[in-house]
């Protein structure tokens, strides 16, 4: 009886179109993809290995076969940047995944079940959020020793409360929606309701959290490694490379050893943040135009 609207538009297509109009977010995405490519492909292109020591060219200035120069042991900076990018970005991704795993699970349980379960979970998050992050992170790192795995573990275990809170409040809101009630009246179980109706609709804030968290973790990795408690040498990461600047001599005379690493951290964090902002805008239902009729 009603006339059809010809074009079939899924929410995803609508969102994509809207995302493309946000220039800053698209720039962020492009830069990020470029950085990832650099980290993945870079080591094969530069012609050096992460740990190859060039005795003839220690602390060499950029140029002369080493595009970005070498460090105090004669290792190629550009190569180490690419390897370091792999480490920094994968720490960002894996630690964020760990935060998500714990946070989303506990957050949805707290929101959906309520009562004593919720109280216990939320008090735990409160307690963790009260810890001064660096004090705890440093003590754990000091006990477990610096390594890639421990770093992910530390950041993951201390970082989940914020996503837990986000998910909980979203679930609290969504579980009172009429369509969730409709699902209950159809006889769907709690798990079916969480996975079919609640989490898909809570995706917006979760995705935004994810992007911002990756940026945050890259920074944390840099900070912890700078303090010598992140990635163990000789493995490189942007943070360990930055820590070279602790030496006054290097800070003053050998800018190529720490400026590029710093720039990359800055670029990564900025581009991820722009991307996150863009996603937040696209995924906010309030800013979404009414589709069709």
Provide DSSP, 227-292: TTSSSPTTS--HHHHHGGGGSHHHHHH-GGGTHHHHHHHHHHHHHHHHHHHHHHHHH-GGGSPPP-
Q: Which of residues 6-35 bind another protein (CB under 8 A)?
A: 8-11
In the complex, minimum distance from the CB of residue 84 to another protein, in angstroms, rounded to a whole number: 39
State how far the Cα of 89 lies from the Cα of 6, in Å rounded to an integer: 44
Q: Which of 71, 81, 69, 79 is nearest to 46 (CA)?
A: 79
State how far the Cα of 66 lies from the Cα of 49, in Å rounded to an integer: 12
HSE, side-chain direction, 13 A CA sphere, residue 217? 32
Give the interface segment with another protein, choosing from 23-31, 61-69, 196-204, 218-226 (CB under 8 A): 196-204
Q: Which of residues 89-118 bind another protein (CB under 8 A)?
A: 115
291 interacts with another protein by CB under 8 A: yes
In the complex, minimum distance from the CB of residue 282 to another protein, in angstroms, rounded to a whole number: 14
284 interacts with another protein by CB under 8 A: no
Quick note: the x/- pattern for another protein over 155-184, rule CB under 8 A, is ----------------------xxx-xxxx
The residue count for binding another protein (CB under 8 A) is: 34
Q: Which is nearer to another protein, 132 or 292 (CB)?
A: 292
- By CB under 8 A, name the one of 93, 124, 172, 188 that touches another protein: 188
HSE, side-chain direction, 13 A CA sphere, residue 62? 12
In the complex, minimum distance from the CB of residue 280 to another protein, in angstroms, rounded to a whole number: 18
223 Cβ contact list (under 8 Å, min separation 6): 134, 230, 239
The contact set with another protein (CB under 8 A) reads: 1-5, 8-11, 115, 119, 177-179, 181-190, 192, 196-197, 200-201, 285, 290-293
């Amino acid at each position: 009886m009603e006339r059809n609207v010809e074009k079939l538009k899924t929410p995803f297509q609508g969102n994509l179109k809207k995302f493309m109009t946000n220039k800053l977010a698209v720039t962020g995405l492009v830069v990020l993809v470029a950085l990832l490519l650099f980290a993945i492909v870079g080591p094969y292109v530069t012609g050096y290995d992460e740990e190859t020591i060039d005795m003839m060219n220690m602390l060499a200035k950029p140029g002369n076969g080493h595009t970005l120069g070498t460090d105090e042991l004669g290792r190629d900076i550009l190569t180490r940047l690419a390897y370091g990018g792999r480490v920094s970005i994968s720490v960002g991704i894996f630690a964020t995944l760990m935060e998500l795993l714990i946070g989303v699970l506990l957050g949805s349980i707290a929101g959906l079940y309520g009562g004593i379960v919720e109280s216990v979970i939320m008090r735990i998050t409160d307690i963790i959020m009260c810890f001064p992050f660096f004090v705890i992170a440093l003590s754990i790192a000091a006990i477990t020793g610096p390594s890639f795995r421990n770093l992910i573990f530390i950041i993951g275990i201390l970082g989940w409360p914020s996503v837990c809170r986000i998910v909980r409040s979203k679930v609290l809101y969504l579980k009172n929606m009429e369509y969730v009630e409709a699902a209950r009246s159809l006889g769907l179980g709690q798990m079916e309701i969480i996975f079919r109706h609640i989490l898909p609709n809570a995706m917006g804030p979760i995705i935004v959290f994810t992007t911002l968290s990756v940026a945050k973790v890259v920074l944390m990795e840099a900070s912890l490694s700078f303090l010598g408690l992140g990635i163990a040498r000789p493995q490189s990461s942007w943070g360990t490379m930055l820590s070279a600047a602790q030496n006054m001599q290097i800070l003053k005379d050998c800018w190529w050893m720490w400026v590029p690493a710093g720039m990359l951290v800055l670029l990564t964090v900025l581009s991820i943040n722009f991307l996150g902002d863009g996603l937040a805008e696209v995924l906010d239902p309030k800013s979404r135009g009414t589709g069709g009729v």
